Structures are given as structure tokens and as C-alpha cells.
Amino acid sequence: MTPQDVCSVDWVKVFDSGKDVLVAGAAVLASCVTWHGINSWRREQRGKADFEVARALARALYAYRDAVTEARQGVIRTSEHPPASDSVREASPQQRAEFYAHVFEGRLKPLNAAAVELEAARNEAEALWGAKARTLVNAALECKGELRGAMWAYVANEQPDGEHFDDHGISGFADMVRMTVFDATTGFNGPDIDPFGIRLSERIDAVQQMLQQHLSGGQKKSRR
């Protein structure tokens, strides 16, 4: 390039073009930084949401488990007796039915309340994690329905016109009802097995495994 050529270059346009390139590059860089920042923020918020929902579900799950355990206590405390009730051993069939109905109704109230809380936590978990959360929690909640049905079968059997399980040669069903209503391992001289309790524990454990994944994942994301 000759000196004349150099002098003939429109340096203003060159500088303007370079400035445009720099401005465009800066805009692209800013967009990339903003995009990365938004994605990081979204990951952090999702991690926090996962953690909070998992923690709420864990609290509701353990409260429900404890309520089921309490409702199945093998020993009926005096405070659970109906007002002015006589010894259940000396009561008539109708009195026995009313006695157990009163006891079971009192035991189901806190269990029903715990189940409502667990259902609410389940719905939030399903919104974030999908149908698997509902399926696993529902399996645990089914234990409440099974227990309630066994309790009222127990009451019906005590009534004067009840089906008296043992009298009809279906003692296996009678044992199943009794071992569902009461955790015999918490009573005196009870068996060492609790089939209903084992089923409940397995279903609680399945929810716990799902929770551990989301709790650990939420903690890692929130620390980034």
C-alpha cells in the first residue's frame, strides 16, 4: 500500500466499523452472561423448591407413620375408655362393641388429620416430580384405609348379631383382623411378627428412598 493509498483510506469509517464489531461482540457476551445467570438462578430455585417440598413431605410422612403406630397400640389406656365404662371383660356384647367403637374413633382422629397433611404434601410433590410421587405416597396411605376397615370389622364382630369370626371356622381371617387392628408385638406376651407393620414400613421406605434423592439433589443445587 502506497502512502497515497493510506491517505485515501476513510479511517473514520474503519474506526466506526470496528466500533460496531466491538459493540456487537459486547452485546453477544452480555447475552451469554445473562443467559448463564438466568439458568443458574433457575437451577438454584428448582433445587430450593425440590428441597422444601421433600422436607415437607418427609415431615408429613413421619407424622403419618407415627399416627398409624399410635392407633395400633396393643394396650388400651384408661384415658381411652368411654365415660363411666365398666370392665370390657365383663361387658355385654353390645357394650363391648360400643367400647371398641369409642376407642377406635378416638384413635382414628389424629390418624385422619395426619393423612390429610400427607395428602397435601403429596400433591405438591406430584407437581414437581410427577406421578411416581403420588403412587408411592398413595400406597402408604392405603394402610390407613386397611386399618380403618379392620377396626370396624372388629366392632361388628363384637355386636350381639355379629359374625363372630371364630364361630364360623375362619379363624385365619379373625387373626388377620386382630393383627391389623392391634400391633400385638406392643402388648404383653404377643407374637414377634407384625405383618401389617411390615407392609407399612416397606411403603414408608419406598417414599424415603425417593425423598433421599431429592433432598440430596436439592442441597447440591442450592450450594452452587
- Residue 1 within any structural domain of the chain: no
Distance CA(157)–CA(166), nearest Å, equals 10
pLDDT digits (tens, 9 = 90+) for 20-69: 555 555 555 555 555 555 555 455 545 677 888 999 999 999 999 999 99
- Residue 63 within any structural domain of the chain: yes
Range of the domain at 35: 10-223
Number of domains in the chain: 1
| Residue 107 near residue 79, CB atoms below 8 Å | no
More confident residue, 90 or 36: 90
pLDDT digits (tens, 9 = 90+) for 152-202: 999 988 887 666 665 555 557 788 888 899 987 765 445 568 899 999 999
- Residue 25 within any structural domain of the chain: yes
- Residue 103 within any structural domain of the chain: yes
Write out the H or E segment, with its range, that includes residue 62.
helix 11-71
More confident residue, 122 or 30: 122
The reported pTM is 0.73
| Per-residue confidence (pLDDT) for residue 207, from 0 to 100 | 97
Q: What is the 3-state secondary structure (H, E, C) of 1-54?
A: CCHHHHHHCCHHHHHHHHHHHHHHHHHHHHHHHHHHHHHHHHHHHHHHHHHHHH
